[in-house]
Chains A and B, each alone.
Chain A
Amino acid sequence: MSLRVGLPQGLLYFQYGTVIERFLSELGAEVVLSSETSRSTLDCGSALDEMCLASKIFFGHACSLRDKVDYLFLPRLVSIRPGQYTCPQIIGMPDVLKHNGGKLPPIIDVHVDMRQKPRQLYQAVIAVGQLLGRGVAASLYAWFRAWQCRECLRSGKKVLAGRPRLAVIGHPYIIYDRQVSLDVLGKLDRLGLTVVTPEMVDAGEINRGAAKLGKKLFWSNSYDIAGAAMALMEAGCPVQGIIFITCFACGPDALVGELIRQQAWRRNIPYMQLSLDEHTAEAGMVTRLEAFADMLKRRPKA
């Protein structure tokens, strides 16, 4: 019987989930995903004090897999790009989980630290392979196959045209988690707006956008969202508005939100910041989105 490996649907799952899922199944493991975020995920995650909402949710997801798997897949993602970190809470997550999660299955917490040595990733890949009883070549091949499947997913995204364009800027684990973001993307779509997210912006454009910000941001996710926001504001046909979605107590966002706000202010682009936490009520969110959408539609074109 193959080993059951649990994969919590939170944090960087929204960026690398498909790759990791594919990688683990290529290695012959049975991947068990946690179910979508729900009220009970949030309640369980509230055991953590003062962590950001996304971390709490991740914790909830990991705990929900407790009795269903042989291993929890929870690599310590210190850095996924040279010269950058993920964020302190993501780095500390495996330890926080171990010491707060009660009785948990063994955790696969290989280090992924590409800050100084990008090739460290392959060591991590091999280490995971070994744990699952695979050799070096088989592990690397599995990773190669998995990475390819990511490439073909990325190229499939398309941007709609015609309606007012609005950028929704935020961490993927916030805006793509429908329970957390209260389906903000769907709501905006129904309000008649074309929504652009950082994931739809090309990596090259992100780099060019981020280069205009002065000092390079040292959190990879924040670098992406700030770079994408800059690229969308600077484009030949800039976005007509920006909604920055953050979760309460997100550290980097406190600074990055301000950074984008100032850049938007200089370019006379409307900007709204929505802060989410476990108490967020849907009505408050809807009112704000509607008001913002109305304002965008009625605003005279510059």
Chain B
Amino acid sequence: MIITFPHMGSLAIVLKALFGNLGCQVLVPPPTTKHTMELGMRFSPETVCLPFKLMLGNFIEALEQGADTLVNCGGVGPCRLGYYSVIQQQILEQLGYRCTMLTIEPSLVDVYKQLKKIAPHASWGQIYNAFQVAGAKMNLLDDVGRVINSLRANEAVQGSVSSLWEQAVKAIDMAETCQDVGDLRQELQQRLAVVKTSTTKKSLRVAIVGEIYVMLEPFVNQNLERCLGNMGVEVCKTMFLSDYVKGHVLRRQKYVEIYRRLAALANPYLSHYVGGHGQKSIAYTLLKKQQGYDGIIQVYPFTCMPEVVAKNILPKVSQDVGMPVLTLAYDEQTGEAGITTRLEAFIDLLQYRQAKTYESGKLDCEQYRLQKGY
């Protein structure tokens, strides 16, 4: 049995650690590329959302390399993700691939059943350890990612933070035990603390809201956070893999509480859950305004149902609270220049707004000059 799974940002590192420690043979699919996209597009229904196509592409590439067991996620709706696995399995069968699809439904009984199929001989201790290591890696990746996203805006040497991030990802991938990950955390914290920054100007702060796959997968969002960081913008992603796992899968008390507060915040605009992260996109727009952010970027795959609902309400939210919102829908046609132009225009607008705030007397002139760096 050779196990494989789709890519989503750094998900592969986490799942590789999980299944590897369960004693399975793991094949990480080749990194998502244009070729993956073309494969996925060729065999997918035309108007299905982008994650479906890319996941299918990942599966095909992994099957070509010899994988025979695909791990996929299930769901209970109303987002389409919950029904991906059925259709993908049929498409792969029609293409003549021989494989087993293990769909992990969000219920404890089902997780246990699938676990028994994946690792029939693993002891409880081994299972516990596998989840511990995978969880530790996931938390460290996301913690470092958060710092990186705000640090990049003020780096003194262009590219230094991004290269640190790449080194960190490699090191985390190599770590074998929880102890290793703990040591690595110490080391990375020290390295992050000594990154040279220029503190002369106050950078803009932008939050990214929207659909998780597009937010996490740099191939799809065309390195959105790096792009913004290089423009001198501090980026806050409102959803990381660890947030999703802790909030939606494990339903930790802390997250359930946060989500309840967010739902209450979004209530005047969207008073019911519409699947996916639609309601959260609206809630975070309001929350980030309160926290003094300068702008919001909503990202989602074209035809994503929950986000389209949010998208149609966001202009009103934006108008009511005075928060600029840029909406970016990604599909397989998305060109790099188009996105860059829009981002540049949006950032220009935010800078203009920031300048106006200062000029209107909320900050005195001296401070303003100091912060703008002239």
List residues of chain A with CB under 8 Å of any chain B CB.
48-51, 76, 78, 83-89, 91-92, 95-96, 99-100, 111, 213-215, 217-219, 248-255, 257-259, 262, 265, 275
B309–A92 touching, CB < 8 Å: yes
B48–A50 touching, CB < 8 Å: no
A92–B83 touching, CB < 8 Å: no
Known A-B contacts A88-B274, A88-B275, A259-B87; A252 and B309 likewise in contact (beta carbons under 8 Å)? no
Give which listed residue, B79, B274, B278, B308, contacts A50 with CB less than 8 A.
B308
Residue of B83, B269, B303 ringed by the most chain A CB atoms within 10 A: B83
A259–B272 touching, CB < 8 Å: no
In whole angstroms, what is the CA distance A154 to B26 when docked? Answer: 55
Residue B145 lies at the interface, judged by CB distance under 8 Å to chain A? no
Known A-B contacts A248-B47, A259-B86; A89 and B305 likewise in contact (beta carbons under 8 Å)? yes
Encode contact with A along B287-310: 1 for CB under 8 Å, 0 otherwise.
Answer: 000000000000000111110111
Kindly report which residue of chain A lies nearest to residue B83, judged by CB atoms.
A255
Minimum C-beta distance from A301 to chain B (A): 26
Minimum C-beta distance from B88 to chain A (A): 10
In whole angstroms, what is the CA distance A91 to B77 when docked? Answer: 12
Contacts across chains A and B counted by CB atoms under 8 Å: 125
Kindly report which residue of chain B lies nearest to residue A84, judged by CB atoms.
B77
Give which listed residue, B44, B46, B80, B315, contacts A251 with CB less than 8 A.
B80
A85-B275, A258-B44 known; 9 new pairs, CB 8 Å cut-off, are A50-B308, A78-B272, A84-B77, A88-B305, A99-B316, A249-B303, A258-B87, A259-B87, A265-B94
B78–A48 touching, CB < 8 Å: no
Query: In B289-339, which residues have CB < 8 Å from any A CB?
Result: 302-306, 308-313, 315-316, 329
B residues less than 8 Å from A76 (CB atoms)? 272
Residue B90 lies at the interface, judged by CB distance under 8 Å to chain A? yes
A residues less than 8 Å from B76 (CB atoms)? 83, 218
Shortest Cβ-Cβ A-B pairs, 10 listed: A218-B77, A92-B309, A85-B78, A88-B305, A99-B316, A258-B45, A251-B305, A254-B48, A88-B274, A254-B47
A251–B311 touching, CB < 8 Å: no
Residue B271 lies at the interface, judged by CB distance under 8 Å to chain A? yes
In whole angstroms, what is the CA distance A92 to B85 when docked? Answer: 26
Known A-B contacts A89-B309, A251-B303; A95 and B80 likewise in contact (beta carbons under 8 Å)? no
B45–A255 touching, CB < 8 Å: yes
Residue B29 lies at the interface, judged by CB distance under 8 Å to chain A? no
A255–B308 touching, CB < 8 Å: no
A residues less than 8 Å from B311 (CB atoms)? 49-50
A residues less than 8 Å from B315 (CB atoms)? 99
B90–A92 touching, CB < 8 Å: no
In whole angstroms, what is the CA distance A95 to B273 when docked? Answer: 11
A residues less than 8 Å from B308 (CB atoms)? 49-51, 88-89, 249
Minimum C-beta distance from B324 to chain A (A): 17
Minimum C-beta distance from A97 to chain B (A): 10
In whole angstroms, what is the CA distance A51 to B278 when docked? Answer: 14
A99–B272 touching, CB < 8 Å: no
B83–A217 touching, CB < 8 Å: yes
A residues less than 8 Å from B271 (CB atoms)? 95
B270–A254 touching, CB < 8 Å: no
List residues of chain B with CB under 8 Å of any chain A CB.
44-49, 74, 76-80, 82-87, 90-91, 94, 103, 269-276, 278, 302-306, 308-313, 315-316, 329
Give which listed residue, A92, A100, A214, A259, contacts B274 with CB less than 8 A.
A92
Minimum C-beta distance from A51 to chain B (A): 6
In whole angstroms, what is the CA distance A262 to B78 when docked? Answer: 23
A257–B278 touching, CB < 8 Å: no
B329–A50 touching, CB < 8 Å: yes
A residues less than 8 Å from B316 (CB atoms)? 99-100
Kindly report which residue of chain A lies nearest to residue B271, judged by CB atoms.
A95
Give which listed residue, B85, B94, B269, contacts A99 with CB less than 8 A.
B269
In whole angstroms, what is the CA distance A249 to B48 when docked? Answer: 9
Known A-B contacts A50-B308, A91-B272; A254 and B86 likewise in contact (beta carbons under 8 Å)? no
Known A-B contacts A89-B308, A249-B47; A255 and B80 likewise in contact (beta carbons under 8 Å)? yes
In whole angstroms, what is the CA distance A121 to B103 when docked? Answer: 33
A92–B272 touching, CB < 8 Å: yes
B274–A91 touching, CB < 8 Å: yes
B278–A254 touching, CB < 8 Å: no
Kindly report which residue of chain B lies nearest to residue A51, judged by CB atoms.
B308
Kindly report which residue of chain A lies nearest to residue B90, judged by CB atoms.
A262
In whole angstroms, what is the CA distance A90 to B158 when docked? Answer: 47
Give which listed residue, A88, A258, A259, A275, contacts B309 with CB less than 8 A.
A88
A51–B82 touching, CB < 8 Å: no
B residues less than 8 Å from A252 (CB atoms)? 80
A residues less than 8 Å from B329 (CB atoms)? 50
Residue of A49, A51, A254 ringed by the most chain B CB atoms within 10 A: A254
Residue of A213, A219, A275 ringed by the most chain B CB atoms within 10 A: A219
Minimum C-beta distance from B318 to chain A (A): 11
Give which listed residue, A91, A100, A218, contacts B312 with CB less than 8 A.
A100
A92–B278 touching, CB < 8 Å: yes
A-B contact pairs, 22 of them (CB 8 A): A49-B308, A50-B308, A51-B309, A51-B312, A86-B78, A88-B79, A88-B275, A88-B306, A91-B272, A92-B312, A95-B271, A96-B312, A100-B316, A215-B85, A218-B77, A219-B77, A219-B78, A248-B47, A249-B303, A251-B49, A251-B305, A258-B48
Give which listed residue, B78, B84, B270, contacts A95 with CB less than 8 A.
B270
A residues less than 8 Å from B45 (CB atoms)? 254-255, 257-258
Minimum C-beta distance from B146 to chain A (A): 29
A residues less than 8 Å from B91 (CB atoms)? 258, 262
Minimum C-beta distance from A81 to chain B (A): 12
B90–A218 touching, CB < 8 Å: no
In whole angstroms, what is the CA distance A85 to B83 when docked? Answer: 13
Minimum C-beta distance from B74 to chain A (A): 8
A residues less than 8 Å from B44 (CB atoms)? 258
